[in-house]
Chain A
Amino acid sequence: MTIQFYWHVPTRGDGRLADAAVKLRGERNDEQPYFTAGVTDPRGRKFNYYDHLHQIGKAAELAGFDGLLVPNDPEGEESWIVAGYLTRNTRRVKVLATFDSARGSAVYAAKNAVSYQRFSNGRFAWQIATSANVAERRANGDFIEDADIPQRTEEFVTVARHVITETGYSFKGRFFEVLEGGFKGPLSGQAVPQVFLTGQTEADLAVSAKLADVHVFEALPLADLQPYLERLQELSAKAGRPVQAALRIDLLVRETAAEAVHDAARQARQQGQTALPDKAGLWALQTPGAGAARATLVGDADQVTAALEEYASAGITVFQLGAVPALEEAYRIGEQVLPALRARLGLSQQQAA
């Protein structure tokens, strides 16, 4: 069994430990001096948030994660630019860029993806997710109806896959068209980026059974997740192709359960929640920013490791983990959770790229 661990890279800013406030670490503006007049500032405006993103990418790699998850946050940095930036500056991790199927020509996306694959020796992957929010879509110049989204995703992936793997490919669908397409010469022979798709509806699962390599589920208590996992398995068996199940979940790990609960409660109160759990477990606590998981596992390292092991036993083979701050917590999780979890699951400690 292979289990992959991805680390969430927050593109709109990072925070302090269990603090709801988000800031662009490393950025300063001219209007407000960062230090008092009594302290010299050697760096001026030499750095910005990309330096922190770079640190996060390095941290995740050093801490033993298998990949980086770059979200498509409409309030954050653009995911492909961040993905390219991080890919060049890491050696081993997969880089999973999230985007929507309204970004333009599927051929152009595929062609860019081929360059990402060539430049990274095949470390690039796609998570395609179109917003369920109509206003958000229209602000993105996308006037598609809800019901049409699965078909557009399907056409996008179909066109992309074919132009990467063959030549002389023609297709005329409702959303995409290509004539005699396909990449030749050095651009040929590249691996199609692994395709991650999302959503919990029947239609979402059906598209994944047909096209996805990995289907990503939102964080739910295991009992609630189980029926979805079973349904995905049924559909994938019927389609005759394997689809891996991924779980997007955030973590709040502290040395003791009491500390974890204390910190989780503070963040929840800052976000306006009043009815708070009083013990470790899965909290309806969201880290700030788009791409955050729907829920957070709160506890000490043993508790969180045990909870993740249960998900793995139920069939999750890809974990998309996140925590605030992304840099510091990448080390904590990498040091205190991943080795223990891999040991329990009988996995080798270092995955091949």
Chain B
Amino acid sequence: MAIDIFWRIPTHGEPSSLRNKLHHRGDWSQQEGDHIVHRGLAGGGGDGFNSLDYIAEVARAAEISGFHGGLIPSFPMTDEPWAISSFLARETSTFRFMIAFQPGFLNPVTAARMTASLQRASNGRGLFNIITGGGGPAQLWWGDVAPHDDRYARTTEFLDVLRSLWKGGSYSHQGKFYQLENAALPEQLLGQDFPEIYFSGSSDAALVSASQHADFYLSWLEPFDQLKEKFDKVKEKTDKLGRKVKCAVRVDIVARATEEEAWREVRRGFENLSDADKDRYARFAQQTGDSVGANRQRSNAPKNLDNYQDFILHPNVWSGFSLLRGGQTNGIVGSYEQVAERLDDLVRLGADSFILASTPHLEEAYRVGEEVLPLVQGHSARNSVLRAVG
């Protein structure tokens, strides 16, 4: 079985390289914890262009370069993936829209109709990154009231309803969260591919839900031994329930012609950090929150923030990415060959799919697609020696 490699859509805008934190693609910038509108490239001005035009460029770059599609994230301050997908369905060809969303935000019948319609509009290119994590007041910001533990039960029930409607015919349901009477998808929406489901969440409740509905269990990059443990647990648990869930890793990379050049990129970014950036990182590293995944990432933070090399966890694995841009801490840094080798290492640990990202997403989609993807062996390299696991 061959692996799938996706790209990621930078809905938060982005700088022109990791060396610089000033966002000017898309239409926003981040300064001192608050977000201000920064009219840079594609600034939504009177010329009729807006940030979606840059996003469309990235999506086109990803499909031209050989990626399956891209993860379209959902954050409080960024544009929504359902909107992006419906807008870009027609001007892309093979790009698959991985829509990140929380089931609790939509009526499941509405969601089923949206999904089937998007499949028709895009020739079956929609898939989901189902998110349930987080919790507390943040959830009420979105207008959602269910408590944390209940929310995985709701995710499960939501996806049950979606799958039942998908089969066609009339469907009634009396559940804890949803009630339907003679619901049905219209004839013209039937027969589409059900979206593949990438599932996130590290808690036990998440794993129970994943074992019923996930096609891919999606994790951030973690230290390789921890990741192997996690994947083994997921595969064991889901195998027992009769549903074989595959695993996927969402990871940022810096790939250059030589390892030295790759590290130089990281070092420059690190040296350009302000004290305020480092303070913010230190505060993040001390927090604890409801998300098990975010807590696991914090546990690897070094004590002092003076040398970028203190963030190296394994050969080619650097844990300081969240200093350079928002998001997860760990990423892969190296030559094209090394990055491909580390991805193959992850395949041996159980990964069947990747969501890669690199800044800036437009140029790097071409670079990674042209230089790194052709070197990745996937499962065809299963018998070679495992190099980076320590």
- Residues of A participating in the B interface, judged by any CB pair closer than 8 Å: 12-13, 24, 48-50, 54, 74-78, 80-85, 87-89, 91, 99, 102-108, 111-112, 114-116, 118-119, 121, 135, 138-143, 159, 176-181, 183-189
Q: Does B145 interact with chain A (Cβ within 8 Å)?
A: yes
**Of B143, B145, B178, B184, which is in contact with the most chain A CB atoms at under 10 Å from its CB?**
B143
State in angstroms the CA–CA spacing of A107 and B80 once bound together.
12
In the complex, whether B37 has a CB less than 8 A from a CB of chain A is yes
| A178-B90 in contact given A104-B107, A141-B107, A186-B37 (Cβ < 8 Å) | no
Give me 15 A-to-B residue pairs in the complex whose CB atoms sit less than 8 angstroms apart, sorted by A's number.
A12-B186, A50-B89, A78-B113, A80-B86, A88-B86, A118-B44, A139-B181, A177-B140, A178-B140, A178-B142, A185-B28, A185-B36, A185-B77, A188-B37, A189-B37
Contact B107 A103 (CB under 8 A): yes
B141 surroundings in chain A (CB, below 8 A): 107, 178-181
Contact (Cβ within 8 A) B86 A84: yes
Question: What chain A residues lie within 8 Å of B137 (beta carbons)?
Answer: 179-180
- Whether A78 lies near B52 (C-beta < 8 A) is no
- Check B50 against A88 for contact (C-beta < 8 Å): no
B106 and A103 within 8 A (CB): yes
Chain A proximity of B173: nearest CB distance (Å): 8
Residue among B36, B121, B140 making CB contact with A81, cutoff 8 Å: B121
Nearest CB of chain B from residue A179's CB, rounded to whole Å: 4
Q: Decide if A84 touches B107 in the complex (CB within 8 Å).
A: no
| Given contacts A141-B107, A141-B108, A118 and B52 within 8 Å (CB-CB) | yes
What separation, in Å, do the CA atoms of A89 and B88 have in the docked complex?
Answer: 9
Contacts of B178 in A (CB 8 A): 141
Q: Which of A89, A111, A140 contacts B109 (CB 8 A)?
A: A140
In the assembled complex, the Cα of A185 lies from the Cα of B39 at a distance in Å of 12
B contact residues around A115 at 8 Å (CB): 79-80, 83-84
Does A187 contact B86, Cβ atoms closer than 8 Å? no
Complexed CA–CA distance, A206 and B77 (Å)? 35
The answer on a CB contact under 8 Å between B181 and A50 is: no
The docked-state distance in angstroms from the alpha carbon of A178 to that of B178 is: 21
Q: How far is the CA of A102 from the CA of B106 in the complex (A)?
A: 9
B195 close to A (CB within 8 Å): no
Task: Tell me if A139 and B182 are in contact (CB < 8 A).
Answer: yes
* Nearest Cβ on chain A to B316's Cβ, whole angstroms: 34
Residue of B nearest to A45 (CB): B123
Whether B380 is near chain A, meaning CB under 8 Å from some CB there, is no
Are A138 and B186 neighbours in the complex by a CB distance under 8 Å?
no
Docked complex Cα distance between A77 and B27 (Å): 32
Given contacts A83-B86, A179-B141, contact A140 B107 (CB under 8 A): yes
Q: Is B120 in contact with A77, judged by CB distance below 8 angstroms?
A: yes
Whether a CB of chain A sits under 8 angstroms from the CB of B284 is: no
**Closest residue on chain A to residue B103 by CB atoms:** A104
Contacts of A12 in B (CB 8 A): 186, 188
Q: Are A78 and B116 in contact (CB under 8 A)?
A: yes
B107's partner among A85, A87, A142, A179 (CB-CB below 8 A) is: A142
Check if B77 sits within 8 Å of A118, measured CB to CB: no
Task: State whether the Cβ of B378 lies closer than 8 Å to any Cβ in chain A.
Answer: no
What residues on A are CB-neighbors of B118 within 8 Å?
A: 78, 81
| A88/B142 in contact, CB under 8 A | no
